[in-house]
Amino acid sequence: MSPARQAWALARLDLTVWRRTPWAIAAAVIPPLGMAVLVTVLTWSVTRQPVALVVEGGGPQARVMARIIEADREAYKLTVTDLGRARQLLGRQQVAAVIVVPSTFDQDVAHGSASLDLTLNNVDIDFGDDIRRAVDRSVAEFDAPQLGASLERTGAAQGLVVPNAYRVDVAEHDLRHTTVTYARYQAVPVLILLLVNVGVLGGALLGARDHERRTAAFLGTAPMPRWSVMAGRLAGTALAIGVVAVPAVFALRLTHVVEPPRGHWVPFGALLAVTALLSAGIGVLLGSVVRQSATVALVAVTVSSYLFFLGGGFTTIAFLPAWLRTASLAVPTSYAIDAIRQILFYPDLTGVGRDLLALCAFTAATTAGGVYALRRVEP
Amino acid sequence: MASARLELTQLGRSRLLLAFTALEALTFLLLVSLFGLTGSRAPTAVVDEDHGPLAASLVGFLRQAHHSFALRSLSAERARSDLTAGRIVAVITIPPGFSAAVAAGGTVALPVDVDNVDVDLTDDIERAVPSALAAFGRAHGFAGIRVVAAERDLIPHDTGFIPYLVVSALALDALVVAGVLGAVAMTREFEAGTLSQWRLAPVASGWLLAGKLAGAAAVSSAAIGVAAIVVFAGYGIARLHAVTLLLCVAIFTCVGSCVGALLRRSLPVAALFFGLALPLYIDSGALEPERFDGNVIWAIAHASPVYYAVGVLEQAVHGLRVTPEPVSADVAVLVAWAALAAGIASSVVARRAVRS
């Protein structure tokens, strides 16, 4: 039997063993599923904040102010109510802030000294600052409508500057035509996490299983070269990744989460294939070092999570401090996540070739390490 | 005591498990820190082509705009290339003649180029620039500004996002570390087939279980202690409440024992806890009081012990009330969780020991 056929036989055997270990499949799929749920929950909470609006003023200026706030649906999840109920809602944490348009608003506007009263539950600055910014914008919109949410990307952006009290008009130009939703931006790297988790855990478990069942000895004495054993294990683990990843990509395509621009499908497929091989290589390496199934799951999940988070799976590496950006250069998944965002969200493929080359280099290094580790551990 | 000592001995033999469990505790701190670092201060370039005093003043107000921008002064070319390469979110260009025109009472267009790849960051920029302009206009007393915002905060001090996050991350640490070790303490008995020997012990199986869980909780406390020291020293949070943390560890060890008794296999334990931990964490008031996310999500959060643990820890450390329920109610529910989980584990163990 040729070494290639031997490797293929081992790959099929590994795939069968993996398929008959439902707990291993569950262990590999649960963290990405958890991450997907997390992203979904976050989309409900990151953009709009619950705010109560109390309009005590009955004049036309008070109504204008109220309409400005009511119209900004991107910033506020608004409850219009009276002051007593608003205070109750604030106390029960049903709203994070209360905005009051006071009864003297119209007179104060006439004197040029009106105020919009904001009572804020400033538990932490993240959402507190979101509300502060939104209220500032609403206030600015009163005297300068072009600074408000409803007139974004109009006026100055189209070369028409209308004088306003703040003496500055914002001319916003967006880099791209479509705005990627928060859910989509964060969900795409979860696909990489799925590949990495199945690959690392699958490869590591197959290796650990060989040691626990002493089948490593058979592999050691089998008349097949080491590279053939490694190729077989890599291929088996990569096939296991394919079993999980192909339906996942299909589902993400149906839900429009994965929607590459024209001509980006081939680099997208190449990226997933190289990432799968890389994950399998890391898994095989781990399996030859950690030889107990019970421990291997914890180690593999931890390694996968570091690969995901330090690779920018939950953040944007470019926005992190310099030392973290430098550290991420040594994290192979940073190239995969960078590339998948470029392929799916940008019209061109700038940097994707470099990312694929880096991934190939990491894959070659882990494969060489795996061959060496197999030489060391087999009797 | 003997059962606890045995558990400690067995855990002592699994050094890799212990090392990775402690590492897991630090992993979550790192994770939430990374999240917190990108939660505010969007990296933004300022291209000052005016160099006048009002341009400098505007840059100052952009810097102070509610932690919105991490400003970098760049040339127009460098800013453009950084924006297209995804290294910054936006470029704010102050055009030549800005100071003179504004001083003369004119209105100047301020070009803001935004990489709108992520709607969350784009929204922040779109709100922050008018916010800075509003402060700029008020500070210089421009005529025609008739309305200002008058803010009153419920809490006398602001709490930073990362200090808030890392404290709730300790609750997550307790869940994962104590949960995994509590679960493994149980699954080891099932996998090694040693449950039958529990029947031969001269004490009730509940005592043996309590001893095992005490051993697992002691090791978990040490791992959480490492994470707490990092929070104390690395994040400058001076007021850590050891008793509350130990309470969380004890409770989550019981929850882990219940999961271990039901799963009976070590393999999926770590993945299950890790996979469940993140959604439970986010849906627990870890980022902000959970009720702000709406009544449905808040109601779901009540099914998670992490919700109550975050409520207790944020109160103990920062003095913040993040659940509408009083802290005493949070503690009571946590204790009920522990009792229920330990009860289920004990019942499963007793039944399996008889069968064995």
Q: Most confidently modeled of A81-90, B118-127, B213-222, B339-348? A: A81-90
Contact criterion met (CB below 8 Å) for B346 and B258? no
Q: How far does A72 lie from chain B, in Å, by closest CA?
A: 11
Q: Tell me what the mean pLDDT of segment A64-77 comes to.
A: 90
- The whole-angstrom distance between residue B354's C-alpha and the CA centroid of its chain comes to 43
The total domain count for chain A is 2
Banded model confidence at residue B354, pLDDT cuts 50, 70, 90: low
Residue with the two structure tokens 């009544």: B295
Say which of A37, A96, A134 has its CB closest to residue B279.
Answer: A37
d(CA B65, CA B139) in angstroms, rounded, equals 13
B227-256 pLDDT, tens digit each = 888 888 777 776 767 888 888 999 999 999
CB atoms B130 and A118 under 8 Å:
no
Banded model confidence at residue A9, pLDDT cuts 50, 70, 90: confident
Closest CA in chain A for residue B107: A167
Please report the residues numbered 317 through 376 in chain A whose beta carbons come closer than 8 angstroms to any beta carbon of chain B.
318-321, 324, 341-342, 345-346, 350-351
Q: How far does A366 lie from chain B, in Å, by closest CA?
A: 21
Range of the domain at A100: 47-158
**Least confident window among A55-64, A68-77, B8-17:** B8-17
Banded model confidence at residue B29, pLDDT cuts 50, 70, 90: confident
Q: Tell me what the mean pLDDT of segment B41-68 comes to.
A: 92
B305: tokens are 């012990």
- Inform me whether the C-beta atom of residue B58 falls under 8 Å from chain A C-beta atoms: yes
Contact criterion met (CB below 8 Å) for B238 and B163? no
pLDDT value of residue B95: 93
Banded model confidence at residue B353, pLDDT cuts 50, 70, 90: low
Rounded (10°) CA dihedral A267, A271, A277, A278: 140
Q: Does A317 share its domain with A189? A: yes
Q: Does A148 share its domain with A258? A: no
CB atoms B37 and A305 under 8 Å:
no
Q: Does A222 share its domain with A338? A: yes
pLDDT of residue B355 exceeding 60 = no
Q: Does A23 share its domain with A84? A: no
DSSP states of A100-158: EE-TTHHHHHHHT-EEEEEEE--SSHHHHHHHHHHHHHHHHHHH-GGGSGGGTTSGGGG
- What percent of chain A clears pLDDT 90, i.e. is strictly above it? 33
Please report the residues numbered 15 through 34 in chain B whose beta carbons come closer than 8 angstroms to any beta carbon of chain A.
16-17, 20-21, 23-24, 27, 30-31, 34
CB atoms B154 and A121 under 8 Å:
yes
Q: Does A98 share its domain with A31? A: no
Contact criterion met (CB below 8 Å) for A181 and A41? no
Banded model confidence at residue A303, pLDDT cuts 50, 70, 90: confident
Contact criterion met (CB below 8 Å) for B273 and B177? no
Q: Give domain status of residue A175, yes or no.
A: no
Q: Tell me what the mean pLDDT of segment A244-263 comes to.
A: 88
CB atoms B149 and A115 under 8 Å:
yes
> Where does a domain end: A127, A158, A189?
A158
Contact criterion met (CB below 8 Å) for A278 and A357? no
A352-372 pLDDT, tens digit each = 999 999 999 999 999 888 778
Domain residue extents for chain B? 2-36+158-355, 41-139
pLDDT value of residue A364: 92
B269-292 pLDDT, tens digit each = 877 887 777 777 777 888 888 888
* Residue numbers in A near B129 (CB within 8 A): 170
CB atoms A37 and B134 under 8 Å:
no
pLDDT of residue A216 exceeding 80 = no
Q: At what angle do helices B205-234 and B179-192 cross, to 10 degrees?
A: 150
d(CA B345, CA B258) in angstroms, rounded, equals 4
Residue A137 maps to which CATH number? 3.40.190
Q: Does A51 share its domain with A35? A: no
Which one has a higher pLDDT value, B17 or A366? A366
pLDDT of residue A378 exceeding 60 = no
pLDDT value of residue A246: 93
Residue to mutate among B29, B107, B304, with most A CBs inside 10 A, is: B107
Q: Does A222 share its domain with A306? A: yes
A93-122 pLDDT, tens digit each = 899 999 999 999 999 999 888 989 999 998
Closest CA in chain A for residue B23: A302
Contact criterion met (CB below 8 Å) for A126 and A140? no
Please report the residues numbered 195 through 224 in chain B whose beta carbons come closer than 8 angstroms to any beta carbon of chain A.
none
A129-156 pLDDT, tens digit each = 889 999 999 999 998 888 876 656 666 6
Q: Give domain status of residue A55, yes or no.
A: yes
Of the candidates B256, B245, B304, B312, the residue with the CA atom closest to the CA atom of residue B279: B304
The domain covering B41-139 belongs, at the CATH homologous superfamily level, to abc type-2 transporter like domain (3.40.1710.10)
pLDDT value of residue A100: 94
CB atoms B109 and A167 under 8 Å:
no
**Least confident window among B37-41, B80-84, B296-300:** B37-41
Alpha helices in B85-204 (DSSP H): 98-103, 119-139, 161-173, 179-192, 195-200
Of the candidates B159, B157, B177, B158, the residue with the CA atom closest to the CA atom of residue B29: B177
d(CA B208, CA B127) in angstroms, rounded, equals 59
Banded model confidence at residue B170, pLDDT cuts 50, 70, 90: confident
Q: Does A341 share its domain with A222? A: yes
B30 three-class SS: helix
Q: Give domain status of residue A74, yes or no.
A: yes
Name B149's Cβ contacts closer than 8 Å, sequence gap at least 6.
A115, A116, A118, A132, A135, A136, A139
